[in-house]
Amino acid sequence: MADYLIAPSILSANFARLGAEVDAVLEAGADVVHFDVMDNHFVPNLTIGPMVCKALRDHGVTAPIDVHLMVQPVERMIDSFAEAGASIISIHPEATMHVDRSLQQIRDAGCKAGLVFNPATPLHHLDYVLDKVDVILLMSVNPGFGGQKFIPATLDKLRQARQRIDESGYDIRLEIDGGVKTDNIAEIAQAGADMFVAGSAIFNEPDYAKVIAAMRRELASVAHSKK
Ligand SMILES: O=C(CO)[C@H](O)[C@H](O)COP(=O)(O)O
């Protein structure tokens, strides 16, 4: 896998032509498809479910599909998304009574397991489950809608999460989601993120390849400065 992964959020894609949109963004150089699942209960919006994930696989999408579950409860959806072809399934600690069990359920279903932190959710939820986590996803907006502004306090949280990952020795991705743009992605990478969800920054522009290439140039400068 590349050192830095760019994961366009299809929340900002044109849903009337979703298969073509996903093809286009992958051809434009994206690494991962970020798939936002909202239930109008855990978050105030309603989006797409496992049938759409399966439809993308049936359409021929082979790239990793990164499912962010903003639903409560999570248990039934974990197996449904695994069967539908998800690669990563991420859950919020507030959305399950049994964080450890749900993370294990994701891995038992053959997927990578992610734990998601809302802007005000403390990192201590990682304390006893770090060995069961493949992805830590920090929300840099309150979940529910694309096109919001990046919350600056997330940079400090990223640094803390990066330190925890590095000290643990586990192979864990540090993903960031919300308000990621070409002009702040370098600062976010400097703070420790290595997987970047971007919805409106990519899908609201006519040339997806141009945005992704600009993001990669910013990321390359960070990688270079870390050498
Ligand atoms: O999970 C999300 C919202 O809950 C979206 O993935 C996120 O907000 C991405 O959109 P944008 O890049 O436009 O901020």
Annotated binding site for a divalent metal cation: 34, 36, 68, 177
Report the C-alpha gap between 17 and 23 in whole angstroms: 10
Q: Which residue has the tokens 């997806």?
A: 208
pTM above 0.90, yes or no: yes
User: Annotated catalytic residue: which of 36, 39, 66, 194?
Assistant: 36
Atom of ligand 1 nearest to the CA of 202: 12
227 Cα: distance to centroid of ligand 1 (angstroms) = 31
136 Cα: distance to centroid of ligand 1 (angstroms) = 16
Go through the domains of the chain in sequence order and give each one's CATH number.
5-226 (3.20.20.70)
Active site residue 79: no
In a structure prediction context, what are the per-residue pLDDT tens digits for the chain, which is 227 residues long? Answer: 359 999 999 999 999 999 999 999 999 999 999 999 999 999 999 999 999 999 999 999 999 999 999 999 999 999 999 999 999 999 999 999 999 999 999 999 999 999 999 999 999 999 999 999 999 999 999 999 999 999 999 999 999 999 999 999 999 999 999 999 999 999 999 999 999 999 999 999 999 999 999 999 999 999 888 77
Q: Which residue has the tokens 């309603």?
A: 46
In Å, how far are 64, 139, 170, 180, 199 from 218, measured between CA atoms? Answer: 23, 21, 26, 12, 17
In Å, how far are 17, 130, 161, 162, 168 from 127, measured between CA atoms? Answer: 42, 7, 11, 14, 11
Annotated binding site: 9, 34, 36, 68, 144-147, 177-179, 199-200
